[in-house]
Amino acid sequence: MSALQYKRKSMSANTAKTIIIGAGPAGLMAAGSLKYGGAAVLEKNEKAGKKLYITGKGRCNLTNDCSGADVQKNAVTNPKFLFSALNAFPPREAMRLFESCGVPLKTERGGRVFPASDKASDVTAALKKYALAGGAQIRLNAEAQSVWFDGKSQKFHVRLTDGAELASDSLIIATGGKSYPATGSTGDGYRFAKAFGHTVVPPRPALVPLVLHEDVKPLEGLSLENVSVSVSSGGKTYRQPLGEMVFTAQGASGPCILSLSSLLSRDGLAEGARLSVDLKPGLSAAQLEARILRDFEKYKNKQLKNALFELLPKSLISYIIGYAGLDGETAVHSVTKPQRAILLNALKSLTFTIKSLDALEKGIVTGGGVSVGEINPKTLESKLVKNLYFAGEVLDVDALTGGYNIQIALSTGYLAGSSITTRNAQRTTRNG
């Protein structure tokens, strides 16, 4: 099917067996796993999977090469709720699906799985292919304005912003959360859920940068690999033993910072919380001291600011010297033992005060969402309204970085769609 045909294909009449609101990973997976009558997929954007195009810096970390149980371990909120979904469609099934759709994969550090092409567009194309193979009809620029259930006709109704109205036997809400609103994630699903009587746990930023009190603008853009970070907040200590971080104009980001932010968001950020960075986690204090002494001996006739370039990135040297309260103009041979101890402490425990988590709109995913206590975890059907299902980020589930969040979207989308397939098959058997 050509791209033009894909965009122009319309739904027969204004009815469908199933309507899916949202053509992200959860919605497209749900569409592909529906085997009876296909689905009408409504997408408010001009293209499907818009948010996928910016994930992983455009490379799309689509899953993690691990077990479903490992995904649960990396889920920050409501991990037990995900058991059935991850069991029905675990990460390696996702990998097989993408490869069967013509997307070769590669696995990088930490089990992170990417398309071999490093193109997020290949991931979206594969999901569209899977949905269309399941008989789905994808309608772009189709923004759902309101939803309701008509007890008389026993149909779900969806009215679009252009005035069109559609009806279906089943409805899947897979609209995403409220982060990156430019990609269409504007919290519509929460409004729809409330219309059906569901409780929505207040959205909160997850996988979001930290805003620091200190002025780190001189370090903006500096990326640090293989550092260890920890946060002390409200009497608790949160750790990421090894990872990558990057300084922003206002604070810090990068995989290990983002993962910590989700834990802080879930538990609440205490006033005076502090971020500590071990720049040399592979060296003990004694080993690092010996390393500093070797460098100082090697560059004993240089100024301190010119003697640390083998130990630190150039852009970090002056900041560390200032942080340690030392004078970069000091000759290395004049640096005292107490001053070396202060420098060593700065390298092993570079500490900042956290002002806040960054804005919800800047989060990679959204914490909070439709309360999972009102959803059947074995089918993802609403406990309040029969034939109503939820999938993906609209639910109150989120996880750490590493491909886990997209896997959760894929697994919940698959379970929602296959649950409707099972129900329709049982209905056909009874009627047959």
CATH number at residue 384: 3.50.50.60
Structure tokens at 393: 């980020």
Rounded to the nearest integer, the mean pLDDT of the chain is 93
- Of 329, 358, 387, the residue that ends a domain is 358
Domain count for the chain, please give it.
2
Do 250 and 387 belong to one domain?
no
Where in the sequence is the domain holding 392, given as residue range(s)? Answer: 3-204+367-431
pLDDT classification of 26: cutoffs 50, 70, 90: very high
Do 239 and 382 belong to one domain?
no
Q: CATH code at 317?
A: 1.10.8.50
Give CA 104 to chain center in angstroms: 22
pLDDT classification of 426: cutoffs 50, 70, 90: confident
Do 56 and 165 belong to one domain?
yes
Please give, one letter per residue, the 3-state secondary structure of the chain: CCHHHHHHCCCCCCEEEEEEECCCHHHHHHHHCCCCCCCEEECCCCCCCHHHHHHHHHCCCCEECCCHHHHHHCEEECHHHHHHHHHHCCHHHHHHHHHHCCCCEEECHHHEEEECCCCHHHHHHHHHHHHHHCCCEEECCCCEEEEEEECCCCEEEEEECCCCEEEEEEEEECCCCCCCHHHCCCCHHHHHHHHCCCCEEEEEEECCCEEECCCCHHHCCCEEEEEEEEEEECCEEEEEEEEEEEECCCEEECHHHHHHHHHHHHHCCCCCCEEEEECCCCCCHHHHHHHHHHHHHHCCCCEHHHCCCCCCCHHHHHHHHHHCCCCCCCEHHHCCHHHHHHHHHHHHCEEEEEEEECCHHHCCEEEEEECHHHECCCCCEECCCCCEEECHHHECCEECCCCHHHHHHHHHHHHHHHHHHHHHHHHHHHHC
Do 146 and 16 belong to one domain?
yes
Residue 342 φ then ψ, to 5°: -65, -40
Do 374 and 330 belong to one domain?
no
- Of 332, 358, 384, the residue that ends a domain is 358
Do 287 and 195 belong to one domain?
no
Quickly count: other Cβ atoms within 10 Å of residue 89's Cβ. 23
pLDDT tens profile 170-215: 999 999 999 877 777 889 999 999 999 999 999 999 999 999 999 9
State the pLDDT at residue 2: 35
Ranking 56-60, 140-144, 245-249, 257-261 by mean pLDDT, the lowest is 56-60
Question: What is the Cα–Cα distance from 425 to 225, expressed in whole angstroms?
Answer: 52
Instruction: Decide if 33 contacts 417 (C-beta within 8 A).
Output: yes
pLDDT tens profile 153-167: 999 999 999 999 999
pLDDT tens profile 327-339: 999 999 999 999 9
Do 237 and 189 belong to one domain?
no
Would the pLDDT of 3 be above 50?
no
Would the pLDDT of 13 be above 70?
no
State the pLDDT at residue 7: 35
Do 214 and 284 belong to one domain?
yes
Structure tokens at 207: 């996988």
pLDDT tens profile 248-297: 999 999 999 999 999 999 999 999 999 999 999 999 999 999 999 999 99
State the pLDDT at residue 428: 67
- Of 302, 330, 358, the residue that ends a domain is 358
